[in-house]
Chains A and B, each alone.
Chain A
Amino acid sequence: DVKVTQSSRYLVKRTGEKVFLECVQDMDHENMFWYRQDPGLGLRLIYFSYDVKMKEKGDIPEGYSVSREKKERFSLILESASTNQTSMYLCASSSHDRLIPYEQYFGPGTRLTVT
């Protein structure tokens, strides 16, 4: 069974802290994604990685960075957390397989609160 895991379900951090959100997938997928989800706004793409060490900005990259040193792991970094980054963060992965394009598998999410 396919699996995407995220390091924490709930996280509380203080303003100005550096925050790391970790995502691991066991499907040997090439693509990995970080989204944030806010009520009424749906899912918005923060960053995308299509291979190890490769990344691309999504729709709302400001205030975030990412790291992908291994194929199975994709980290989202908040360099200096702010209260407007309080949100649900979702990680997803997908394959380059042309038979199943765009089909993404999601982790359970991390609800981050910045106080």
Chain B
Amino acid sequence: AQSVTQPDIHITVSEGASLELRCNYSYGATPYLFWYVQSPGQGLQLLLKYFSGDTLVQGIKGFEAEFKRSQSTFNLRKPSVHWSDAAEYFCAVGRGSNYKLTFGKGTLLTVNP
């Protein structure tokens, strides 16, 4: 069965520092992978997605993610974090042929001034 692990529950970075959020997935075939962001009290917003092709995908708000099949990872990166990036981030993988997503438990990002 598909699964997603986000090893870091909470990460704190300083504004202007680089960021990498980790995502490990388990899936037999080529996965459909997503990163979502949730600001406090809000719903989830799609940051970026990987279906096929170039393994480095660009998303909104200056984020990018790299798909590494050999390591079963889809890590999210940003070169310089802004205070407005403070939020919870969820990695997700598509489940089979029935349109569902399996979500990781999320990583909470705190940004220090």
B 82-100 to A, binary, CB cutoff 8 A, 1 in contact else 0: 0000000010101100111
Alpha-carbon distance A42/B49, docked complex (angstroms) = 19
Q: Which residue of A lies closest to B44 (CB)?
A: A106
The residues in B between 19 and 72 inclusive whose CB is less than 8 angstroms from any CB of A are 32, 34, 36, 41-46, 49, 51
Nearest-Cβ distance from residue A70 to partner chain B, whole angstroms:
19
Q: Are B43 and A101 in contact (CB under 8 A)?
A: no
Segment 85-103 of A: residues with Cβ below 8 Å from B: 90, 92, 94, 96, 101-103
Residues of B within 8 A of A43 (CB): 44, 90, 103
Q: Which of B32, B45, B99, B106 contacts A42 (CB 8 A)?
A: B106
Main secondary structure of the interface of A (DSSP, over half): strand
Does A101 lie within 8 Å of B46, measured CB to CB?
A: no
Which one of A4, A48, A102, A109 lies within 8 Å of B34 (CB-CB)?
A102
User: Given that A42-B90, A42-B106, A43-B90 are known contacts, is A102 also in contact with B43, CB under 8 Å in the complex?
Assistant: no
The verdict on A64 contacting chain B, using a C-beta distance below 8 Å, is: no
B99 in contact with A102 (CB, 8 Å): yes
Closest residue to B4 on the A side, CB-wise? A42
Evaluate contact between B44 and A90: CB separation under 8 angstroms.
yes
Q: How many residues of B contact A (CB 8 A)?
A: 24
Q: Which residues of B contact A31 (CB under 8 A)?
A: 99
Contacts of B42 in A (CB 8 A): 108-109
In the complex, whether B77 has a CB less than 8 A from a CB of chain A is: no
Report whether B45 and A106 are in contact in the complex, using a CB–CB cutoff of 8 Å.
yes
Measured between alpha carbons, how far is A90 from B106 in the docked complex, in Å? Answer: 15
CA distance A33 to B44 in the complex (A): 13
Interface string of A55-71 (1 = CB under 8 A from B): 01010000000000000
Q: How far is the CA of A25 from the CA of B13 in the complex (A)?
A: 36
B residues with CB within 8 A of A: 9, 32, 34, 36, 41-46, 49, 51, 90, 92, 94-95, 98-101, 103-106
Residues of A at the B interface (CB closer than 8 Å) are: 4, 31, 33, 40-43, 45, 48, 50, 56, 58, 90, 92, 94, 96, 101-109, 111
